[in-house]
Structure 1
Amino acid sequence: METRTEHDTLGTIEVDRSKFWGAQTQRSLENFPIGTEKMPEQLIRAFIILKRSAAIANYQLKNLTRLKKEAIVYACDYVLKHGLIEHFPLVVWQTGSGTQTNMNVNEVLAYIGNQFLTDNNHAERLHPNDDLNHSQSSNDTFPTAMHIASVLTIETELLPALAEINGTLTEQMKKYHDLIKIGRTHLQDATPITFGQEISGWQHMIEKIEQMLTEDLNYLRELAIGGTAVGTGLNAHSQFSDLVVREISALTKTQFDSAKNKFHALTSHDQLVRTHGTLKALAADLMKIANDVRWLASGPRAGLGEIELPTNEPGSSIMPGKVNPTQAEALTMVTVQVMGNDTTIGIAASQGNFELNVYKPVIIYNFLQSVHLLADGIRSFNQRCLIGMKPNADVMKRDLNASLMLVTALSPKLGYDRASQIAKKAYQDNQTLKEACLELKFLTEEAFDQLIDPAKMIQPSD
């Protein structure tokens, strides 16, 4: 490996000549050989957006020359276009403020910007700290990037996925509005519902989560930039924060705001905790939907068998012809991972000591992982399972007619005790409800038929 010599305040260090980072990134690589979890690409892109906006703001405030501003903007645009993720190699398990990642971004942008200046025969050069980090601290840039990445990832990945599954469930809810089946509580037979009504419960879960996430985003739009080291704004112009936030909003085409209290923005991550709480609620809802689907599809002969799922791949390496609810299983594994991430985020966010929380990298790593997994899991479950899901109307009708809980419709006429007596007799003597009722002489056949009508039992009546 060919190397070049880089310098920082600790001295010199050798860096792979093919890489764009500098001395501080190299020291982090060598000092934190922990795990394989890298800083998320969405966080790096958020940092680039921030650095581009900060350069423009510093230029407007006459804290940066026009040429240096242009070099930084060029470098940022270059990374946003090409990705260059191989030049951002740092692991999550580093300093809790994310200082090394902030400097990794500064060093890479300075390297690219200096190439731009050299190629255009300019003598000026960018410094990772003096220019790329002007008016900034890792303590305010990292939480700013956390919020930018969170908002953009939810808006571009998760909300569209929720809209897709919501559309599927809404369509099926309407399609099977009149298909009556037996309801179940405690995994036991209950009174009738329609399949459309059952699906409507799933659909409303998704709809409510969409509303909750939209509200959560309002809090995540607050950015810490301008607080610098401890929230006082030392070394930053009083207008710097507002100018940066304005540029970020314009570049991302989504609204961001300057946090009103920078001391809070540096030491507390309650907005991320709240939003991830909604992600956990979504995970709980998805667990319920996926479990309902695989229960209803169980069988096909020794289970409920009320619905049929698409056949995507062989279900067993030893049992020929077996088909398993694999998409439901994958989604439920996603949900338990998200629930685990929520525990990590909650504990990490509780560790803000004085003016800084130093668990930022693990918070954003788990947060973004949850968003990615939920978005991907929802899309896969929707496309490969829900869209092709079909009810088995014959099985639904058979189970409905055999259910003893239809007797509930007799309670207003006969009272709870006598209705219960009918159900017990039918069960013990292996009879239908009608046979038991007629033997007990509680009702005539005509009266029984008028009361036991599943179509009249799926909604309130007068």
Structure 2
Amino acid sequence: MSEQEFRTEKDSIGTKNVPEDVYYGVQSLRAAENFHITGLNMHPEIINSLAYIKKAAAITNCEAGLLDKKIAQAIVKACDEILGGKLHEDFIVDPIQGGAGTSLNMNANEVIANRANEILGGKKGDYSIVNPNDHVNCGQSTNDVIPTAGKMTSLRLLKNLKKELMRLHTALEKKAEEFDGVIKMGRTQLQDAVPIRLGQEFKAYSVAVLRDIRRMDKAMDEMRTLNMGGTAVGTGLNADEAYLRRIVPNLSEISDMELVQAYDLIDSTQNLDPFVAVSGAVKACAVTLSKIANDLRLMSSGPRAGFGEINLPAKQNGSSIMPGKVNPVIPEVVNQVAFNVIGNDVTITMAAEAGQLELNAFEPIIFYCLFQSIDTLGYAVQTFVDNCVTGITANETRCRYFVENSVGIITAICPYVGYQKAAEIAKEAIKTGESVKKLIIEQGILTEEQMDEILDPVQMTEPGISGKEHLTD
């Protein structure tokens, strides 16, 4: 095996040998050595977001007469290659890093500069033609590039999450229709309450998911406001006026995203509360999904010694020792993802709060946690829909049995027999184990026909519908 060849690059710290065939440079290599934290690669979407930003900057600087046309074209071509999926392996810095994202910004600058140098006939590491700082980073700072990349990435990831949530909403709506006629016992604080239709429960789930989608839409709007052009602290130092005016419109056009420049670039550079808002919306959604998953696990529990009201699709063996056991693995994974999202939200909140003066240095951990939350929640919703919700079936007979044998139905009968008599019947039912319906009929309080009318599923579960006027004394 031949020995690996190196080129020597220099930065303000000193010189360093960089593998000859790579597109990253000395600053990227130092960062990779300094920050071996997660052992993971940078999210591909933030790499693409950086490529859009660098492409837009090159176009804008060329329009402003600040960048030679050939250099600008070479940078644009290099960026297009990244957007096409190439050169991603040369983004070597860890997602969690010190320096407010400078390592990631310089990684992008070096990769793009070295590829642009090749395009123009130069060699990797010879920055006399295209320089990472002077050309690729012209008019920019880490402090406007990185938050912009984070916002663009969040928007793209949230779009996919919303797509999966809409699928879940639709699946729950279909189940609500399918189960509309299934009467079951409603429970509060895990105790028998009053009857409810299974379809109504699933309809409520769909409404909650839709509310989460709308909440996410509102939070996403905050991701569209960028501090590009603000450079280091939002004052726009070293950014040409023409560049400052055109960078965001150009970025919007080439990325096909609706982006706007912040009214106050200093505020937009200092404060990361928009990411907290997005994380909060994602967390709220995770809480909703976890509660739904909890309900499904409870209603499917047993199947003999638990509720057994619904059946979840059997996806895998539930035990290495208990034959035939099947666990609710899909709702369980939804729960676990929700726990992780909630923890990530705490980290994001603390990181956003920890900013000082003109900059928050903790964007890397915010992005790491936020992207993970959005991605994993999207994957969880996908498997929730495909491997659980669409295959749920109802045990209608068991659901009806619980209603008819529950003391809870006494609440529906109370208006017809009075509170005192209803309480007496309830106590007797608990003491003897007899059904409320049987005791009332046996005691001649109401007829079987009257009881059937009172216990009609629609009458018991629709506000404002009552059959009392049809009953005789």
Is the alpha carbon distance of 1:212 and 1:406 closer, same or farther for their aligned partners in structure 2, counting shifts above 3 Å?
A: same
Partner of 2:433: 430
The one of 187, 199, 215 equivalent to 2:202 is: 199
Is the alpha carbon distance of 1:52 and 1:415 closer, same or farther for their aligned partners in structure 2, counting shifts above 3 Å?
A: same
Partner of 2:280: 277
- CA displacement at 1:439 relative to structure 2: 5.9
Asked whether 1:34 is paired with 2:37, we answer yes
Judge which range, 216-225 or 444-453, deviates more: 444-453
> In the aligned structure 2, how far is the partner of 1:280 from the partner of 1:33?
28
> In the aligned structure 1, how far is the partner of 2:454 from the partner of 2:394?
27
Partner of 1:65: 68
Is the alpha carbon distance of 1:117 and 1:276 closer, same or farther for their aligned partners in structure 2, counting shifts above 3 Å?
A: same
Is the alpha carbon distance of 1:169 and 1:450 closer, same or farther for their aligned partners in structure 2, counting shifts above 3 Å?
A: closer
Partner of 1:454: 457
Judge which range, 377-386 or 412-421, deviates more: 412-421
Post-superposition CA distance 1:88-138 (Å, at most 9, x none): 111133224100110000000001000000079xx9711000001100111
> In the aligned structure 2, how far is the partner of 1:242 from the partner of 1:172?
51
Post-superposition CA distance 1:256-299 (Å, at most 9, x none): 11111111111111111011101010010010111111111111
Post-superposition CA distance 1:160-216 (Å, at most 9, x none): 111111111111112222222221111122211111101011101111111111111
Asked whether 1:221 is paired with 2:227, we answer no
Alignment of structure 1 residues 242-253 onto 2, 5 Å: 242-253=245-256
Partner of 1:147: 151
What number of residue pairs does the alignment pair up?
Answer: 459
CA contact (8 A) 1:96 1:357 kept: no
Partner of 1:128: 132
> In the aligned structure 2, how far is the partner of 1:405 from the partner of 1:70?
74
CA contact (8 A) 1:183 1:190 kept: yes
Asked whether 1:159 is paired with 2:155, we answer no
Asked whether 1:298 is paired with 2:339, we answer no
3-state SS of paired residue (1:129):
helix
> In the aligned structure 2, how far is the partner of 1:83 from the partner of 1:377?
29
Is the alpha carbon distance of 1:445 and 1:401 closer, same or farther for their aligned partners in structure 2, counting shifts above 3 Å?
A: closer
3-state SS of paired residue (2:322):
coil
Post-superposition CA distance 1:235-276 (Å, at most 9, x none): 102332442211222222220111111111111111110111
> In the aligned structure 1, how far is the partner of 2:429 from the partner of 2:108?
74
Partner of 1:186: 189
Is the alpha carbon distance of 1:449 and 1:376 closer, same or farther for their aligned partners in structure 2, counting shifts above 3 Å?
A: closer
Judge which range, 363-372 or 40-49, deviates more: 40-49
Judge which range, 75-84 or 223-232, deviates more: 75-84
Report the residue type matching 1:239 in the other structure: A
Is the alpha carbon distance of 1:269 and 1:435 closer, same or farther for their aligned partners in structure 2, counting shifts above 3 Å?
A: same
Report the residue type matching 2:279 in the other structure: H
CA contact (8 A) 1:68 1:124 kept: no
CA contact (8 A) 1:38 1:90 kept: yes
Partner of 1:331: 334
The one of 229, 233, 236 equivalent to 2:236 is: 233
- CA displacement at 1:37 relative to structure 2: 3.9
> In the aligned structure 2, how far is the partner of 1:188 from the partner of 1:359?
46
Partner of 2:394: 391
Is the alpha carbon distance of 1:450 and 1:25 closer, same or farther for their aligned partners in structure 2, counting shifts above 3 Å?
A: closer
> In the aligned structure 1, how far is the partner of 2:154 from the partner of 2:437?
59
Q: Share of identical aligned residues, percent? A: 37
3-state SS of paired residue (2:84):
helix
Q: TM-score, normalised by structure 2?
A: 0.93
3-state SS of paired residue (2:132):
coil
Q: Any unmatched runs of 5+ in structure 1?
A: none
Report the residue type matching 1:66 in the other structure: K
Report the residue type matching 1:68 in the other structure: I
> In the aligned structure 1, how far is the partner of 2:419 from the partner of 2:281?
41
- CA displacement at 1:409 relative to structure 2: 1.5
The one of 340, 358, 361 equivalent to 2:361 is: 358
> In the aligned structure 1, how far is the partner of 2:453 from the partner of 2:242?
76
CA contact (8 A) 1:426 1:435 kept: no
CA RMSD of aligned residues (A): 1.8
3-state SS of paired residue (1:67):
helix
The one of 363, 367, 371 equivalent to 2:370 is: 367
CA contact (8 A) 1:92 1:365 kept: yes
Partner of 2:292: 289
Partner of 1:406: 409
Report the residue type matching 1:362 in the other structure: I
- CA displacement at 1:441 relative to structure 2: 5.8
Report the residue type matching 2:202 in the other structure: I
The one of 263, 267, 271 equivalent to 2:270 is: 267
- CA displacement at 1:361 relative to structure 2: 0.2
The one of 42, 46, 50 equivalent to 1:43 is: 46
Partner of 1:52: 55
Judge which range, 171-180 or 360-369, deviates more: 171-180
> In the aligned structure 1, how far is the partner of 2:206 from the partner of 2:128?
59
Asked whether 1:315 is paired with 2:315, we answer no
Q: TM-score, normalised by structure 1?
A: 0.95
> In the aligned structure 2, how far is the partner of 1:175 from the partner of 1:333?
28
3-state SS of paired residue (2:323):
coil
CA contact (8 A) 1:297 1:306 kept: yes
Asked whether 1:2 is paired with 2:5, we answer yes
> In the aligned structure 1, how far is the partner of 2:459 from the partner of 2:144?
62
Partner of 1:90: 93
3-state SS of paired residue (2:187):
strand
Q: Any unmatched runs of 5+ in structure 2?
A: 467-473
Is the alpha carbon distance of 1:434 and 1:312 closer, same or farther for their aligned partners in structure 2, counting shifts above 3 Å?
A: closer
